Amino acid sequence: MPLKARVARTPPPPPFPKKATPNAALHARAKFHPPGVLYKKGGTMRAPVQRLADLQTREEALGYLQDAFRRQLEASIDAHTEPNTSISGDYSVRQAFNVLLSPTEQRAFFQQIVSDRRYWPRIKSLIGNPPFSFLLPEDEGLLRAGGICKNRANLHTTVSNISKAPDFGEGHFRDDAERTYRIINHDLKDASLPWQNISTQQQLVVDVRLKMYSHKTKVQIFRGTDGAKGNKASLMFPRPGEEVVWHLNRDLEILGSYAITVRVDSGKQKVRFSPIARLLVTVTKI
């Protein structure tokens, strides 16, 4: 069930103060569901979600995230947490936001939550620092980027909408060279999640992130120095025509390990020297 976007009509917020000041609006209690419980239409209750693999549809994923964000908001209010400060549970919710939603859905979700001013001090810990790769130029007036992270001028990225490193989380897939992949072009008409219902000959737009190494380790791997951990493939992006085996993120597995093979059709690096690129691939084997 697509999430309807509601653009905030409130003016950009002032810089967040160093100390949070309790007020009636901030501490107004939001109605929320018990932790980890999904509620479907008609009031049907599902079992608690222990792993992201327990979620099987986009509707369930959106419901889970809405509950999780509300839960973290309530906890921060109860603890009088300072703006832009993380609390226990924020990291897991942020990872779920990156894995479960496509960029289009992330944009709609972001527009919805920022219409509630109480979420403004929680954007940094629940979603991350701007600029956000999932936002568009017309979203610039939703919030003031400098209120979320000091010295940030833009909410949306002005360089490239290819994913940033934090956007990957644990990713959807990983290959034998420890490169991480995130599916971008999920069909919103498909009720399944981005990594599900993939078929042969299907074309996918994905972002790939190379494994991070120190400069010294990179040199050792490239030269084949004894004791170097990693292989040369981990230092470069897959090339057009190359076939790569992807392994599903273990947190997303339902019935054990799952792998697919893709052929790289084309690719574009985010910026020069970036460890991230966008690829167009074709699925050749399930």
Report how far apart, in Å, the C-alpha atoms of 211 and of each of 35, 175, 232, 240 are: 33, 11, 11, 20
- Number of other residues whose CB lies within 10 A of the CB of residue 58: 23
Which of 116, 206, 122 has the alpha carbon at shortest distance from 168?
Answer: 206
For residue 31, report the phi and psi dihedrals to the nearest 5 degrees.
Answer: -75, 125
Q: Report residue 125: phi and psi, to 5°.
A: -85, -30
Give the per-residue SS3 of 215-279.
HHHHHHHHHCCCCCCCCHHHHCCCCCCCEEEEEECHHHCCCCCCEEEEEEEEEEECCCCCCEEEE
What are the backbone angles phi and psi of residue 110, rounded to the nearest 5°? Answer: -60, -45
- Give me the residue spans of the domains in the chain: 1-158, 165-285
The pLDDT, as a whole number, for residue 220 is 87
Q: Mean pLDDT over all residues of the chain? A: 85
pLDDT the model gives residue 140? 94
| Residue numbers in the chain where pLDDT is lower than 70 | 1-47, 226-230
Q: What is the pLDDT of residue 227?
A: 58
CB 283 within 8 A of CB 204: yes
pLDDT at residue 23 in the model:
34
CA distance 70 to 77: 11
Two structure tokens written together for 197: 């219902």
